[in-house]
Amino acid sequence: MGPIGSFADLMSMLRRRIVPFAVILSLGMLAALVNALSQPAVFETSTLIQLRNTGLAGDDPAAQAQRLQVIEQQLMRRDNVLALIEKHELFKDESAMSDDDKLFAFRDSNRISIIDSAGGGTTPGTGREVAALLISSKAGTPRQAAQVANDLAASLIAQDREERTRGTEEALTFLNGEAGRLSRQLARVDAQIGEVKNANEESLPEAAEALRSEMAQLRELQLELERQSLALERDQLDAQMRAEEPDSEDADTTVASRLARLSSELTQARRLLPDDHPEVRRIQNEIASIRSSGAVQTVSQLDREVALIESQRNALERQKRTIAARQEEIERALERAPLIEQELAGFQRQQAQLVQQLSDVALQLAQAQSRQSLQDNRTSGSMVVLEEARAPDYPLSSSRKRVMAMGAAGSFALALIAIFLMEARRPVLRTAAAVERKLGVVPIAAIPQLPSPARRVRQSSRYALAAVIFAASAALGVYLYLGSDEAEDVAATPAVAAQG
């Protein structure tokens, strides 16, 4: 480190070189002050906008935050920013700046900050909830800062209204089309359900119980027809035997027995069948025919009786075939019932889904129509300007302070380096510690130097001259600072008057 080996050596060097140190430090401080004061004044102001929620679908916090992001991107796009720069005559004194530099500077000087609502700003299931917007603008004059901030706020509110209107119109168009599509699908499903029911009326689930009851009745009727068929076979056999060996006594007996048998059959038939049933009428006609004859049958009558019995048997066979065919139809219908039930269940599930979707679309459509009605009546403004931007009275001083602090630090370091180099040009061992550190030997004795009166006068003169230098530079600095403040006050006066 040369002649400086301790803090005491440093202080001794400062005392010896106080005049050049004061000159360099004062000039550096004055240069830093002039540089700081030459920095262009920057004025900042802001506009506060409150966001209101209508509570309708489409105004949920997530959609609102997304819409604000889209609007911010549109406001800060290149063509819009350049139009604002030209409108407010920003950077007109910076002819060397390119459009890209102006674009970057404008985006850096103008910010749109989102203020979340109380409680963390989030609601479960809804996402970020925005309470307000803070639009901050920096410019070279108070008027420009206020105008840019208010212009951005107006553009943002207009963009929000336009986005809401366009979103509502798009939602109405989509929802109307979706409602029509779902209605057509529901009509097709209803038609398919009707076709299936009409084509499979007996296989429907609600008809299964009636078919099983009818099947049981048909079985009973089939058994009764079998018994009647057997009885007719016996009568036919008796008639054929009597036709081969006619006997008047036997004929009378046969007629009586037939009347008794037919009466018994009529009683049984009336218990099972209605009075207008063909079988009941046949038995009644046969009894009436036998009673009206009143005479013993001849051989020809026996032949006619045999023929009548045969025709009755044929009629019974036809009834049995009809019953069997009906039983087959019922069995096929019951076999198809599970498939028809499954098919109808699928259609009904689809029908229920379409009805639910149509109900949801109808609810969303009603909400969209409510939003459109509110927008048409101009009562749904979601943004309210709580505080307009006003021309600031004083510029920002943070940039000047930063320049001044850096200049002061640099000046102090430069002054130290300068006097150190001056000291290094004449390396003198002034203390016993310096001799020991430099030569490696311990001095036997150290005789203090007593300054003469002339030396003390020269030292006092150096201190006085340094003080004068510091005082002069401080006075000059104050003068420059006050002159800069007066110029800024004169520049800000028109903006304050216009604001008032």
- pLDDT of 497 reads 44
Distance CA 185, CA 173 (A): 19
CA triple 104-84-395, angle to 5 deg: 70
Give one DSSP letter per residue of 114-153, joined into a string.
EEEPSSSSEETTTEE-EEEEEEEEEESSHHHHHHHHHHHH
Using alpha carbons, select from 463, 433, 462, 451 the residue that is nearest to residue 3: 433
CB 22 within 8 A of CB 13: no
- DSSP letter (8 states) at residue 297: -
CB 54 within 8 A of CB 433: no
CB 110 within 8 A of CB 152: yes
CB 244 within 8 A of CB 251: no
- pLDDT of 434 reads 60
Q: Cα–Cα distances in Å, from 25 out to 7, 22, 291, 428, 464?
A: 20, 5, 158, 25, 16
Q: What pLDDT tens digit does each residue of the chain (500 aa) get?
A: 445 556 666 777 777 778 888 888 888 888 888 877 776 667 888 888 887 765 554 556 666 777 788 888 888 888 888 888 888 878 777 777 788 888 888 888 888 888 877 654 444 444 567 778 888 888 878 888 888 888 888 888 888 888 888 888 888 888 899 888 989 988 998 888 888 878 777 777 777 778 788 788 888 887 877 777 777 777 766 766 665 554 444 555 556 667 777 777 777 777 777 777 777 778 878 778 776 664 444 445 656 666 676 777 777 778 878 888 888 888 877 777 888 788 888 888 888 998 998 898 888 888 888 777 776 665 445 678 888 888 887 776 556 677 788 888 888 889 888 888 877 776 665 565 665 666 666 666 566 666 667 767 777 887 888 888 888 888 888 887 777 655 555 544 544 444 44
- pLDDT of 446 reads 60
Distance CA 448, CA 143 (A): 69
- pLDDT of 297 reads 46
Q: How many CB atoms lie within 10 A of CB 203?
A: 23
- pLDDT of 68 reads 80
Q: Is the pTM of this model over 0.85?
A: no
Which residues are CB-contacts of 7 (< 8 A; sequence separation ≥ 6)? Answer: none
- pLDDT of 214 reads 79
Distance CA 418, CA 435 (A): 24
Tokens (6 digits) for 164 = 């809401």
- pLDDT of 124 reads 42
CB 361 within 8 A of CB 178: yes
- pLDDT of 498 reads 43
CB 192 within 8 A of CB 350: no
Q: Cα–Cα distances in Å, from 447 out to 303, 432, 444?
A: 181, 10, 10
- pLDDT of 171 reads 84
Distance CA 407, CA 399 (A): 12
- DSSP letter (8 states) at residue 206: G
Q: Cα–Cα distances in Å, from 238 out to 108, 148, 254?
A: 125, 125, 9
- pLDDT of 125 reads 44
- Cite the DSSP H helix spans in 40-120: 61-75, 78-87, 99-109
Please name each of the domains of the chain with its CATH number.
7-39+396-492 (no CATH), 43-176+364-387 (3.30.1890)
Which residues are CB-contacts of 161 (< 8 A; sequence separation ≥ 6)? Answer: 375, 381
Question: Does residue 394 sit in helix, strand or coil?
Answer: coil
Distance CA 242, CA 244 (A): 5
